A and B are shown apart, each in its own frame.
Chain A
Amino acid sequence: MSRLFVARNPRVAARSLDGEMMIMSGRDSTLFTLNRTATILWQAADGRTPLDEIVQSRICSEFDVDPAEALQDAETLARELAGHEILQLSEQPIAPSSTPPTAAGDPR
């Protein structure tokens, strides 16, 4: 069974405020507010750690959930976030981008 790797999309702007993670799409300026699980996933999405390890170490340790069910939910969530271009998904580790995810960009 292949493993899934997740990475933060460097083309979005992200800030955490009072524990609330907000992300704005650089493409169409849509603003997203992540729930607790999505925030954990976003913060752990370094492109190197497989999703199942993130679920095991970060989600199952925080919530009282069945690991298999948690992984399935996390995959669904990751695909949803990828659909909004917030996360990148791959069956291979994802190389880090030179653009930090929270940078203010290069205003001209």
Chain B
Amino acid sequence: MPELIAEVERLSLLIEIGGMPVRVNTTDPGFLAMLQDRYAGYVGASQEARPEVEFDVDLIAPANSDPDADVRVSHRSGRWSMQRGDFLAEWEPASRRGWIRQSANPYSIDAVLRIVHTLVLARQGGFLLHSASAIRHGKAFLFAGVSGAGKTTISRLAPPDATLLTDEISYVRKDVGAHGHGYVAFGTPFTGELARLGENVSAPVAALYLLRHGSENRIEPVPAGEAARSLLANVLFFAEDEPLVQATFQAAFDFVSQVPVYRLTFLPDSRVWELIG
């Protein structure tokens, strides 16, 4: 008599953004291929590395849901719950395990990854920031601003000797390396209008520029209070959780006390990069 129960093969992928490995398990080869393509350059070299988080993805049929709906993130009994119209997910930090219920699309898991990274970074004094970022001459520069402020433009104008980390969402964590102070920016696969994945490299953060379109290229220092307010306005934050709000608030102030913040008014031409680096 033939075996009635077939063992389903579990497929796995390690996605490493900001040096933090997240393992994603699925039973769907097509979804795995989609993720490999989506996170090309961020797939961990060592599939044996111990992940910070491991998600089992439960694929469901697509539904008429709104991916632009508000994200809800809450913490209860040691578990984070994350949900939007197009996904539902849970993560238990103590066991490092979680699950995601979504249809086979790259956008839902992308949102989950962003949320998880903000939660992990917050407890480490880092954050994800609405900003483009690039490395030039061994230093990272961040260009923050709301939609339309010029993140895509400044990225598009970057000279050949600049390495683009992202045109949309920067990854910033405290430097715990040899220097032990300051901040490091990492490349991310989180793209904006440019739709080009950032390079998976990192460098110490040299400056944060607050972008503004203008009639000339000009750099001005920003007072600390305004810098902190502007930074906080651009930090990605999802959780309605007091300890995390406080940690993120403190992280923003620590950042502006260590990293120079400038207002960068610029014309949409490449000469602006003569002022950077």
Interface residues of A (CB under 8 A from B): 11-13, 15, 17-18, 20, 22, 24-29, 31, 33, 103-108
Contact = CB atoms under 8 A, between A and B. Distances in A.
A22 B227 CA distance: 12
Contact of A22 (B228, B233, B243): B228
A86 B100 CA distance: 37
A106 B243 CA distance: 6
B31 to A, nearest CB: 30
B77 to A, nearest CB: 12
Interface residues of B, number: 25
A31 B70 CA distance: 20
B52 to A, nearest CB: 13
Closest 5 pairs between A and B when the two form their complex, measured CB to CB: A105-B243, A107-B123, A26-B242, A105-B246, A13-B249
Contacts of A18: 223-225
Main DSSP-derived SS at the A contact region:
loop
Contacts of A17: 224-225, 228, 253, 256-257
Residue with the highest number of chain A CB atoms closer than 10 Å, among B93, B223, B243, B247 = B243
Residue with the highest number of chain A CB atoms closer than 10 Å, among B122, B228, B232 = B228
Contact of B75 (A24, A29, A108): A108
Contacts of B216: none
B229 interface: yes
A33 B225 contact: yes
B242 A104 contact: no
A106 to B, nearest CB: 5
11 contacts: A15-B249, A17-B224, A17-B228, A17-B253, A24-B246, A28-B240, A29-B237, A104-B250, A105-B243, A106-B243, A107-B244
Contact of B232 (A31, A106, A108): A31
A29 B122 CA distance: 14
Nearest to A15: B253
Contacts of A108: 75, 78, 93, 123, 243
Nearest to B225: A20
Nearest to B251: A104
A62 B233 CA distance: 33
B276 interface: no
Given A17-B228, A17-B253, A108-B93, A26 B245 contact: yes
Given A107-B244, A108-B78, 7 more contacts: A12-B246, A18-B223, A18-B224, A24-B249, A26-B242, A27-B240, A105-B246
A25 B244 CA distance: 11
A71 B244 CA distance: 36
Contacts of B228: 15, 17, 22
A20 B224 CA distance: 9
Residue with the highest number of chain A CB atoms closer than 10 Å, among B224, B228, B246, B250 = B246
Contacts of B242: 11, 26-27, 105
Nearest to B232: A31
A29 B235 CA distance: 11
Interface string B77-114: 01000000000000001000000000000000000000
Contacts of A27: 240, 242
A103 B246 contact: yes
B229 A31 contact: yes
Nearest to A29: B245
Interface in B16-44: none
